[in-house]
Structure 1
Amino acid sequence: MQNLISLTLSLLLLSVKSNKYAEILKKDLNSNEIHQDIEDLQANFRQQHPQDPKCFENHHKIQYLPYWDKEVIEFPCMYAGTLNVSLQDTHDHNLFYWHFKNTSLTDPPLVFWMNGGPGSSSMFGLFLEHGPLKVTRTGEGMDDFSLGLNEKGSWLDIADLVYIDQPVGTGFSFGNFYIDRMETGAEHFVKFVTKFLKAYPEYKNREIYLSGESYAGKYLPHFTYKIALHNELERLTKKNNASIINLQATFIGDPFVSPIRQRTSTHLVAQGLHVIDRSNMGQVAALRKKCEESISEEWDLGSKVCGQTMDYIDTQAAGLYTYDGSAFDTDWQPLIDVIQDFLMKSNKKNLLYQALHVTKSYKTPIYERSSRRVSQSYDFEEMLDWSVYYDKCIEKKMKLIIYAGEYDQRDGPLTMIAWMKDLRNLQNSSGNFFNQSRKIYYYKDTNGSFQVGGYYRYDKDAEFTFLTVPKSGHFVPTTQLDMTKQMLKDFFENKRLVCHKSSQSECETSHVMCRAMNNCNSNGKCLDTGKCQCEHGFFGDDCTQKIQSLSISQEFQESYQMNGTHWYYFRLENKDNQILNDDEYFELRLSSQRLMDIYIKKDDKSEPTQFQNDMKFLKQQRLVISTQSFPMLRSSFIATVRVDGIDLFENKYHQHTLKASFRKFKKPQIDQILIQ
């Protein structure tokens, strides 16, 4: 009986093993069949869609793509795969790239592109922004896709392109662990570029440009600075085969740079569009307060908490797209879903992955549009301010071009001025960046008609450009492809934006500003910045006002009779270097029958206005400005007083009086205070 049981078990095991071996053999046979099928598929595809002979062979060349439109004969010259960028033997870090070569151009520049996130795949940039490929749905099924060329054109029209998924874990990139510091990512990127240049040696001396958007506003200045250091070190070695990276400029779209400042100003676009109004500002103020306090107390929650203002506006506005205040979430999601389904859910995704040479990846899933794990790994650095790297790039004379869509609520132009004004090397440059009048950037569209591409400032010494782009949001090339192509071409050919009109003056705005100021009303000179330099005794942006000078050594008192609304100016300028003693202080007293708005600047050079001031006091009838309360005004200041004498609702212009006095006082002694 025992022998019978043993025999039965042996036969059962043999049967199981036979089935297992049969399955393995079947799997191997199927694998060989699939491999043969793919080779046949590629051979047939090449016959139908021949590539340019200049598109040389290598192990990363793309021979075939599923769902390619049969009507599109031309098949672009493309390469894709991963390059290992590990910094240590125990690491296995692989960055994915998709490279496009324009074989009809002679030695075109090479442009690298990266999306942000952190953890967002650059396939978004490829398929939705400026890449040469376009995927569309032909039905509702997971086989209903059509892949072809972007009929609107692409950046490939003017340059060779590399779309890179970084850091490790983003998109098709993979590794045995994820990195959590930008410095490591910068080292990975430099290693990637040097390995790419070895794999494609035709680019060794070619001009290289970096580009990206959003969180790449942190990546790109850091990587640019790292490349500058890499090149310096390579030059010091004086090797014949030194791996110099010929980086010419870096383009950064709608950058996320200074998280706290940018996240606490995300309401400005919605407010300007009147999507939210004064009734919503209490909630905005409360959420801003939570943001600032969370950063101070619970750093790991900062990103989530500081994003609540955008969430509130999105909900309040019934789905207004946070990346573009001129659109709604429902406008964008279908576009994103097509790409997502094509890359992740299509029935031929495995054929796609083989064509892209990513099947060795052990990441699950192989592709992610936006990786939560990458984002979580960067949690610590996400809310850190990265503007210092812009300053470092300026110091190294690395060209930076910042461009931003006017409707971007998250990282648009309205969120950027504060951190830009903190760039010391930009402020100290002789280009007087923020004093410039902005230029109009014109370009020709595909019909040959001039269009307004934006408004910009350029500092030639700092090599810094800031361009505000109309009719666009966070993803500028989606709506302004022709403009971005011209922007790139300008730097390829001139290393700066240029005026494409027949006369340079047509791109300037300073003469328009001077005309608006009536050319300073013959009381001053209008400079090429569009601002008036007033003659002595005159003041105001248009030099129409006479200013009342104040002196520490002399008392002043005056009454001003007026009808309607008027502006008055008072300036303390210490010409004789008179200094208040420690026991002295002065007071400027103002009183009016009508409400006053008072704007103050602590220097005596520029006019304080409702837009530019150090202090402001609104809707006052009496105000005392004293150095006891404001010691920063001891040596000089300018006060602008606007007296409102118009009742707009009833169309009444009131006659009224402003009284002003200025006196120096001695502080009472301690014993005098005690006696009183």
Structure 2
Amino acid sequence: MWLSSPTWLLPLTMAGAVQALPKGAKIGTTVSQTTKDGITYNVFNHAATGAKLEYVNNTGICETTKGVNTVSGYLSVGEDMNMFFWYFESRNNPKTAPLAAWFNGGPGCSSLIGLFQENGPCHFVDGEEEPSLNEHSWNNFANMLYIDQPIGVGFSYGNNDVTSTETAAPYVWKLLQAFYDHFPQYESRDFGIFTESYGGHYGPGFASYILEQNEAVEAGAVQGEKINLVALGINNGMYDLELQEKAYITYSYNNSYKQIIDESTRDSILEDYESDCVPAVRKCQQTKTDADCRDASSVCGSAIEDRIMYSGVDFDVYDIRQGSDDPYPPSTYSDYLARSDVQKAIGARSKYSECASLPGAKFRRTGDIARSTLPDLSEVIKSGVNVLVWAGTSDWICNVDGSLAVADAVEFSGHDEFQAKSVEAYKVNGKETGNFKSVDNFHYLAVYDAGHEVPYYQPETALQAFTQILQKKPLSST
């Protein structure tokens, strides 16, 4: 169903016709239209960053709630560098609701995974061919922005010079700057970053960069808008190899669902962890060279992860309760996005790639995964941002043992109190669905019977936690 456009979304006119700037747009920006591959886009040139937005409005794809507006298309951030985004207005109070951006991990995986399988306005129930509305969508509370990055991921295409979390962050900031400049009503809104998996790198890295840019903008060193970052949430994240490689061992030996290794194997792998993995990771942290960080990732992977995964016990690394042929979450959304009518409607002009190999390979060459994001995470918490580290209890690849170890290691004023604190029940409408602990603006949550993509398995719990964190509140049971 096509929805009428509000005043802040430009109506379609003749291609190439220059229109008046949207209310609040900055001097030096232009708005026009262009047609590419049979798709007519609104075009917004952002003078401050040299970026260009090309987008379509209200496609009727995924979000069909009456009166809820959408925008999808591309941010061109350089020569043939086209980053795809999809924005959904909040279903409730969009004019005052906060703004949140979602990033899936990989590195190299599309954020449309999160949109269609986890927390977006629609989902594919039991593998159906057509989407239906998701009653637990996160745009029940917030205006949601899904971003395919780095370039080469999802519907993003073109030249990709991103090789690490550090080099990815500026492009995310540039997209947000162009988005704010074109839609200035969001500039002062509370903003949150939510992410998962390799988001244990993306979340702290992107948040830290935004805070640094805010300081530069305030000092007059950078032209742009300060981003009112108030929340960071990372579920089943990969932050720190030294802590989380050990967690593979402890979780594989003792978890609530399936024992993967026996005691003697556990002890043997722990020996290799101490003798091989830990020294390699610490060398990476000391020298910070690509070669040493690549080596750390390789050494730990061979000594620990490979030995566990090939132990002879069949399990899905994303949900230990299942075998390796686990059909959940259903992947039918990718067939839907392969349809030419859907691609044309949302303004996509490349083949969809759920988890692209080339962008991920560039991260592997720099050993990015071995570069701990604990320092960035600690600084973000110290800045006052409301931070949630959470994980589903049946995920293996970024498991709860590792998430808790990371949470207990965070350095902030409440570190000692947090580390010593016991977890308590987390309830949704009186039902215990997890356990948590909080000190000041830092929170840890384990969600029961949830795999890697927590919002898919426990949508009510995920929506409640998301809403509380983005409201700058502590976690609390209902």
Q: TM-score over 0.5 for the alignment?
A: yes
Q: Taking structure 1 as reference, are residues 138 and 251 closer, same or farther at Cα in structure 2, changes over 3 Å only?
A: closer
1:486 aligns with 2:470: no
| Counterpart position of 1:149 | 133
The partner residue of 1:410 within 381, 390, 397 is: 397
Deviation at 1:332, TM superposition (A): 3.2
1:127 aligns with 2:110: no
Structure-2 separation of matches of 1:230 and 1:299 = 27
Structure-2 separation of matches of 1:334 and 1:232 = 41
Structure-2 separation of matches of 1:416 and 1:103 = 32
- Say which SS state the counterpart of residue 367 (structure 1) adopts: coil
| Counterpart position of 2:321 | 326
- Say which SS state the counterpart of residue 330 (structure 2) adopts: helix
Deviation at 1:499, TM superposition (A): 4.1
Deviation at 1:467, TM superposition (A): 1.4
- Say which SS state the counterpart of residue 329 (structure 1) adopts: coil
Aligned partner letter, 1:327: Q
| Counterpart position of 2:50 | none
- Say which SS state the counterpart of residue 146 (structure 1) adopts: coil
What are the residue-to-residue correspondences of 1:429-578 with 2, within 5 Å?
A: 429=414, 432-444=417-429, 450-460=430-440, 463-493=441-471, 495-500=473-478
| Counterpart position of 1:100 | 88
| Counterpart position of 1:277 | 262
The partner residue of 1:79 within 71, 79, 82 is: 71
Q: Taking structure 1 as reference, are residues 343 and 104 closer, same or farther at Cα in structure 2, changes over 3 Å only?
A: same
Structure-1 separation of matches of 2:415 and 2:147 = 37
- Say which SS state the counterpart of residue 243 (structure 1) adopts: coil
Structure-2 separation of matches of 1:177 and 1:252 = 25
| Counterpart position of 1:353 | 343
What are the residue-to-residue correspondences of 1:307-326 with 2, within 5 Å?
A: 307-308=301-302, 309-316=304-311, 318-326=313-321
- Say which SS state the counterpart of residue 360 (structure 2) adopts: helix
Q: Taking structure 1 as reference, are residues 75 and 171 closer, same or farther at Cα in structure 2, changes over 3 Å only?
A: farther
Structure-1 separation of matches of 2:253 and 2:239 = 22
- Say which SS state the counterpart of residue 466 (structure 1) adopts: strand
1:217 aligns with 2:196: no
| Counterpart position of 1:51 | 3
Structure-1 separation of matches of 2:329 and 2:383 = 43
What are the residue-to-residue correspondences of 1:216-295 with 2, within 5 Å?
A: 216-237=199-220, 243-273=225-255, 274-281=259-266, 284-285=269-270, 288=273, 291=277
Report percent identity of matched pairs. Answer: 25
- Say which SS state the counterpart of residue 168 (structure 1) adopts: coil
Q: Taking structure 1 as reference, are residues 162 and 314 closer, same or farther at Cα in structure 2, changes over 3 Å only?
A: same
Deviation at 1:80, TM superposition (A): 0.8
Q: Taking structure 1 as reference, are residues 114 and 55 closer, same or farther at Cα in structure 2, changes over 3 Å only?
A: farther
Structure-1 separation of matches of 2:388 and 2:65 = 37
Aligned partner letter, 2:139: L
- Say which SS state the counterpart of residue 416 (structure 1) adopts: helix
1:177 aligns with 2:176: no
Whether the 8 Å CA contact 2:253–2:262 is kept in 1: the answer is yes
* Largest Rg, 1 or 2: 1
Q: Deviations over 1:318-364 (max 9, x none)?
A: 4311122222232236713x2333334xxxx23222222232x5xxx
| Counterpart position of 1:400 | 387
- Say which SS state the counterpart of residue 73 (structure 2) adopts: strand
Deviation at 1:102, TM superposition (A): 2.7
1:342 aligns with 2:303: no
Q: Bigger CA drift: 96-105 or 107-116? A: 96-105
Aligned partner letter, 1:247: L
- Say which SS state the counterpart of residue 114 (structure 2) adopts: helix
Structure-2 separation of matches of 1:431 and 1:252 = 22
Q: Deviations over 1:135-185 (max 9, x none)?
A: 46889xxxxx323323x4311212111111112222111232331132221
Tell me, which stretches of 5 or more residues in structure 2 are unaligned?
11-41, 43-54, 284-290
Structure-2 separation of matches of 1:372 and 1:333 = 22
CA RMSD, Structure 1 to Structure 2 (Å): 3.1
| Counterpart position of 2:52 | none
Whether the 8 Å CA contact 1:262–1:410 is kept in 2: the answer is no
Aligned partner letter, 2:333: I
- Say which SS state the counterpart of residue 99 (structure 1) adopts: strand
Aligned partner letter, 1:371: A
Aligned partner letter, 2:377: Y
Structure-2 separation of matches of 1:400 and 1:138 = 33
The partner residue of 1:370 within 351, 355, 358 is: 355
Tell me, which stretches of 5 or more residues in structure 1 are unaligned?
1-48, 140-144, 445-449, 501-676
Whether the 8 Å CA contact 1:267–1:409 is kept in 2: the answer is no
Deviation at 1:224, TM superposition (A): 0.9
Q: Deviations over 1:224-259 (max 9, x none)?
A: 1111122222223399x9612111111111110112
Aligned partner letter, 1:276: I
Whether the 8 Å CA contact 2:407–2:444 is kept in 1: the answer is no
1:110 aligns with 2:99: yes
Q: Taking structure 1 as reference, are residues 280 and 130 closer, same or farther at Cα in structure 2, changes over 3 Å only?
A: same
Aligned partner letter, 1:117: G
- Say which SS state the counterpart of residue 368 (structure 1) adopts: coil
Whether the 8 Å CA contact 2:388–2:442 is kept in 1: the answer is yes
Structure-1 separation of matches of 2:127 and 2:462 = 30
Taking CA–CA contacts closer than 8 Å with sequence separation of 6 or more, which of the two structures ends up with the larger relative contact order? 2
Whether the 8 Å CA contact 1:261–1:415 is kept in 2: the answer is yes
Structure-2 separation of matches of 1:298 and 1:229 = 27
